[in-house]
Structure 1
């Protein structure tokens, strides 16, 4: 992906309403770069799927414009958009063989028979399904059907491939395997992928950039590392990754460094994001893997926050341990510990813990 390249897709003030009153998508401005893997991430009803359906041509925008290169898509029918689509339920024709399903996109485009056969063979080779060409979809596993649907989306060399939660029906292990395969295929082909999901780990694993949707608007669009480490508002911070949230009052603010007073009298420092002012109620967020119970840190260091909390339980996750805690008048939180520190997790309920975390890992939101 060339970050400086002209965008392949442009949304300009796009809105969608079904009743003329409530907007499912509103004021959407979005540039999708040539060759990138962009995920649209958000909860149900956030507008991400509607955005994808408008780009595919299965929904029409109520206002605004959608461009693919130099082509205005608003009135362009779906089969003339040079866009491949992979649906959540794969949408394979049950009475057609694998090869016939893949060939369908070429059939409606009236591609010559010999050219069509060669293209189908290439597409099935891409997804390692050539040996299943004569099979019917009902004889395939979920992962194999997903590959066939992807081959059908790629067979006519589209400029853009759209995917609507295509891995949602797969079990966890196969889903994670297919995430790697999709990312590798994207890297090999260089085709622009736009992927809709509500699974944050899926979006972070595969994407070059992620657009977080909520209430019909993009809350933040960024590289995956920036999205996780420096969320721009509380919506993004709470939806992307796990967070411990401490509610208190902003006591001081200097050059975006804020001091927060908690109800129990504790103080903590962090980076203030947005329009919070001194005296406001704020939410201070810190990732659980950024917290430690280790006694090796210097508790007097000004750059470290230190809180005292009580243990409420321990959870074993196989690759890490989570020590749950509660602080005075705060929501329950937890610390992630690697397995080599698992001994620290064997603590009785009610034991007092010392939590330490660097202030650079604290984001403070109004």
Structure 2
């Protein structure tokens, strides 16, 4: 994908509120036409500020935002033609569902017949075609969320911006809405930009995810690559679960290295950040990649089972390693011979799935 395919381009965008500390630092980002892009990161990482600058509610301190080749940095929000969905839905309580959805069309002075047709289509889109005459107070949280979404889509925007829109819903409903949003995006082909701090949500819904920390994008990638090949320690620890072991580099060649753990044990892994001999590093392995071995072998460490936790769809072993933090191991429910607490186990971390970070 090239910048010319991009619907939106951020170039050298910075934002500061006090003139000294940067909330967003030198942001360069291409948002592709028709993609579902999530901005993921902890509180204060710059993701919401980035969305607000795109929406026009905040102005960049430096840099340029370009839409379809035209700079929009100084274009007011109402002239950007973007749909917006907030966490608190922001529905008008004195208006019916249909009137709420029609509001953006009234502002744009569409004729009544056209307005009615678009509202009907938007209600069908979010599967609420029988609820047009209800008021927001008569709806559940999930239904209110659908109305807010329909209102954001009703005027055929080229871009829909969402700021933690599912945050107020309970877990089951949130997961259901994630799948609905993804299906809706696929059906409509509109560009979605979605802010969340929930990594599972970002992985479930997005085509690509931009991981923010400290005002910068740490990595922007397809969800599978983001999970399997994090580019640094922050992304590895923020996206998904990890077994993390502190170590020091003993030998390095090509893209791999051998590390020594505090107890003298050795592991081989992928040298992600080109660490040199003697460097203090962290070894990172996904819990589902760790295997139970029959005995000592290459890339295998002994541990003591502290706990076996039932998670419904899998088991987790909580293991204590020699002079290390605890390590979690995921096992399938049908795993033969699950060890019990107190047992010593041999945990094999395959070298191709062991990533070493500075």
Task: Please give the TM-score of this superposition, normalised by the length of structure 2.
Answer: 0.97
* Contact in 1 for aligned 2:255/2:274 (Cα 8 Å): no
Distance in 2 separating the partners of 1:22 and 1:107: 41
Q: Which residue of 2 aligns with 1:355?
A: 347
Q: 2:305, 2:251 → 1: CA distance?
A: 30
**1:103 aligned counterpart, secondary structure:** helix
Report how far residue 299 of structure 1 moved: 5.6
SS at structure 1 position matched to 2:174: helix
Give the alignment's Cα RMSD to 1 decimal.
1.4
8 Å Cα contact 1:321-1:342 kept in structure 2: no
Match of 1:39 in 2: 38
Per-residue deviation, residues 297-328 of structure 1 (Å, max 9, x unmatched): x864xxx5110111121211111111001112
Cα pair 1:321 1:337 within 8 Å, conserved: yes
1:327 is aligned to 2:326:
no
Q: Does 2:286 correspond to 1:312?
A: no
CA contact (8 A) 1:233 1:273 kept: yes
Q: Note closer, same or farther for the CA distance 1:269–1:124 as it changes in structure 2 (3 Å cut).
A: same
> Is contact 1:299-1:306 (8 Å) kept?
yes
Gaps in structure 2 of 5+ consecutive residues: none
**Secondary structure of 1:274's partner?**
coil
Is residue 5–residue 33 contact of structure 1 (8 Å, CA) maintained in 2? no
Q: Using the alignment, how far apart are the partners of 2:146 and 2:113 within structure 1?
A: 23
Q: Which runs of 5+ in 1 are unaligned?
A: none
Q: Give the C-alpha shift of residue 357 in structure 1.
A: 2.2
Residue equivalent to 1:137: 136
Number of residues of Structure 1 aligned to a counterpart in Structure 2: 358
Q: How does 1:164-183 map to 2 (within 5 A)?
A: 164-183=163-182
Q: Deviations over 1:116-159 (max 9, x none)?
A: 11111111110011111011001101110110000000000000
Is the Cα–Cα contact under 8 Å of residues 293 and 344 in structure 1 kept in the other structure? Answer: no
**Residue of structure 1 equivalent to 2:203:** 204
Moved over 3 A (4+): 2-5
TM-score for both structures, normalised by structure 1: 0.95
